[in-house]
Structures are given as C-alpha cells and as structure tokens.
Amino acid sequence: MTEIVIIGINHKTAHVETREKLAFSESQLERSLAFCRENSGISECAILTTCNRTEIYATGADQQTITQLIMQMLSEVKGIDTDEVRPNLYIHAQEKAVEHLFTVTAGLDSMVLGETQILGQVKDAYAKATEAGTVGSTFHALFRQSVTAAKRVQTETAINQNAASVSYAAVELAKKIFGRLDNRTALILGAGKMSELTLRHLYDQGVKKVIVVNRTKERADKLAACFGGVSEYYEKRRDCLIQADIVISSTGAPHFVLDKEEMASVMRARRGKPIFLIDIAVPRDIDPKINDLENIYLYDIDDLQAVVASNLKDREHEAVKARLIMKEEISEFQIWFKTQEVTPLIAALRRKAESIRKTELEVSLGKRLANLSDKEKKHVENLTKAIVNRILREPVLRIKEFALDENSDLYVASLCQLFDLEEGPNGELQPRLPQEQEEAAGSKAEGAHH
C-alpha cells in the first residue's frame, strides 16, 4: 500500500527565525529532490517552500522509513539539527496529508485566509518536482486534483473578492471612487515599506504615472525607479498634489504634513477635481479637517482596518462554502487513490485468467480443433477473450467497490487466497505456480546461481 506523508513547518507552528532555517534555496531544492529520487524508501517527493511555510510531501511503502529519510535529507542538505526543530514540525499521513494539501492550495491554511498566491506556489512546487523526476502517478493525481479544487474555490465562492490587507483595501477604495486606475496619477508622500506595498498594488491595478516625494531625495529616487516613476523634492509637494489623483501618505513625521489650508489651496488650483487621500501613517500625516473640503476623499489607517475587518468576516463566511468544495474534491481523489490499491489484484486476476485461456486454447487448437482454418482459429480465440472479459467484468467492479471499504485489506487477502495469488519477488501479485513448476523454477534459479 502506498503511504502519503507530509512533514512541514508554517507560520502557525514556528516564528520566522525557525522557519527560515528550513527555507530552501533553488540549489538546496534540487539537491533535496535528488536525495529523494536516489533513495528507494521514497517513491515520490515534492517540496513547497514559501515565506510562511516549508512542506515536504512524499510517498513510499512505509511511513516510518519516509519520515526518517526526510529527516536525514533535512540534516544533510540544510545542515540543521532536526531534533532542535522537531517540536515545530507537523507530520500528517494518508487522509490527513491529502486534506492538508487541498486546504493549503485553496488558501484556507494561509496567514491571510483565501489568498491566491499560494496556488501558484503549489503549482510551482509540483512543476519543479516533475522536472526533477520525483513525481509519479499518485502525486500527478493528488496535486492536479488539489489545484482543481482551489480553482473551484476561487470561482464558486467570494473568499478572495474583498481586500484582506490595509494596503489592498486602499486600492479597492480607489477603484470604487475612480472606476478605473490606468489613467490616474499616484503621489507617494514618504518612501517607507507601507507606501511601497500600497504603490505596488496600485501599479498592479494599472496605475502608470507615479510621483514619489520624500525628504530624503535618494530614497524617493530609488522607489520611483522601481515603478518607472519620477521623484521630486519635498518642497515641491504642492505642485505634485495638483497633478495627483491618488495620494498615499506614510511619512515618519510626528505632526500633520498636510493641513486644511494647504489642501484648500491645492483644490482651488485643481478647480475642484476629486482627489483620494490615503493616510496610513501613525501618527497621522493628514489633518482630518481636510475632509470638510469638497471632492476630497480621506481615509486613515483606522478606516482601512475597519474595511479589512469587515472583509475578513466575509471571508470566514465564504470559507464554510470552500470547505464543502474541498470535501467533494478530496473524496474524488480518495476514490481514485483507493482504487489504485486494488489495481495489482485486478491485474493479477487478469493475468491468471489470460494464462488459463491461452493454455486451454493451445491445447484445443493443437488437438480437437486442429483442422480449423486460420480464420476460424482467430474467431475461436476472439470468442475465448470475450468470455474471459465477460466473466471478469462483475468481479472487477466489485473489487473497485470494496477498495473504498475500511476493511479492504481483508478483502484483498481473501481474494488472493480464493484465486491462489501470491506476492512475487518484485512485490507484484501473481498467480501461484503449481508445485512442480515452482520446483523447476527454483532449480533453474539455483543452477543459474552456480
């Protein structure tokens, strides 16, 4: 029986200083997949590594062996003491491992519930493992089904349709105000990380013209260059405000950097043209009295966080629907997976039936039916094949059905006994040889050995 195992660490089980010890570089990923490919105790392997999680998925015949080999791989490739990180690791097997991958791929285990970036990262992990030759039939089916499930979640629920971060909530509000953003100018006051993140979201949504204003001109130059924008000296911010449609302010100033009087002057110069101000600084950069002016839409960090909190509640509600989809898709995979477990039995039954058919046909065609023409002999042969297929049709269907039963192992053992099947030297089920044939085969093997 194939065992599916996952060993991982994520943002729920470890802080970043522990997670980064298990993060894989490209070269480490290649070495790790090569390690798994070259060890017979692991049949398949894929490694998912992101800023929030590292997860190693593997299959093999024995869960304990798989676990030991993965720990050995982590020790050799990452150079870490696995005993030290063991308390932060989670290990799942079989149904729980399958459920975990489906949940991760759909973004239901992410730090931001329902985020979609993880789907691309899972697909990337699968592609790299396929390229490295560490993916077989089980992982082909498992990863493809999990991707299908995640896509269903994205299209059949609204789990990712509302912003779940302050920076993205600002962009969503801008879209509601202006409709489209590709013809808008964004002004950034302050060149900190939060400004950069919000600007990146705006840029992804089509904003092409970017102006960065900062007291330190070098930082403004650097941020503007990232988005093909221009930078300006802080003293020229009024001219920039006249041009801008969207303003993101995140300076480190301990006081307001935009007051009502200055913005009133700017609005006169703009002839009342609407402007969207996003104040994500703490302390705030923009005097809230500015909201009294016509055609100014001002949102501060609390406004945006309230939007995010409301959106996250909506996402939790949609997650219930998403989990129902997961259940359906996992069930479909489990049916396929369990059916694979009885495939060797079905194949052995077919081989045994075919062997009997051929033997009996050869005897008959060599004696009683020796006078038949070639065409008639072919007809008889096709007839025997059709009879065998018809006889096996119902048993094969029943075998696939009991594969889903929790006692399927007992059924397989009973059928092996009933049809006189045994496990061969290569682990494959095969018809048991008659004693004289077995002895002959043994003598032949012994002779070859000597």
Which active-site residues does the annotation give?
A: 51
Distance CA 362, CA 366 (A): 6
Residue partners of 62: CB distance under 8 A and separation at least 6: 3, 41
- Residue 133 sits at φ, ψ, to 5 deg, of 80, 25
Distance CA 438, CA 429 (A): 15
Residue 130: exposed, middle, or buried by beta-carbon count in 10 A (0-12, 13-18, 19+)? middle
- Residue 354 sits at φ, ψ, to 5 deg, of -65, -40
* Beta carbons within 10 angstroms of residue 146's beta carbon: 27
Distance CA 150, CA 381 (A): 49
Q: Which residues pair with 185 in a beta bridge?
A: 209
Q: Which residues pair with 6 in a beta bridge?
A: 57, 92
Count of helices and strands (H, E) across the chain: 16, 12
Token pair, residue 238, equals 């009024």
Closest CA to 38 of 77, 2, 7, 80: 77
Residue 221's alpha-carbon distances to 199, 202, 248, 278, in angstroms, are 14, 18, 16, 21
The residue count of the chain comes to 450
Distance CA 225, CA 222 (A): 5
Token pair, residue 119, equals 């789907």
One-letter identity of residue 106: A
Closest CA to 163 of 173, 155, 148, 177: 173
Distance CA 7, CA 23 (A): 13
> In 3-state terms, what secondary structure has residue 170?
helix
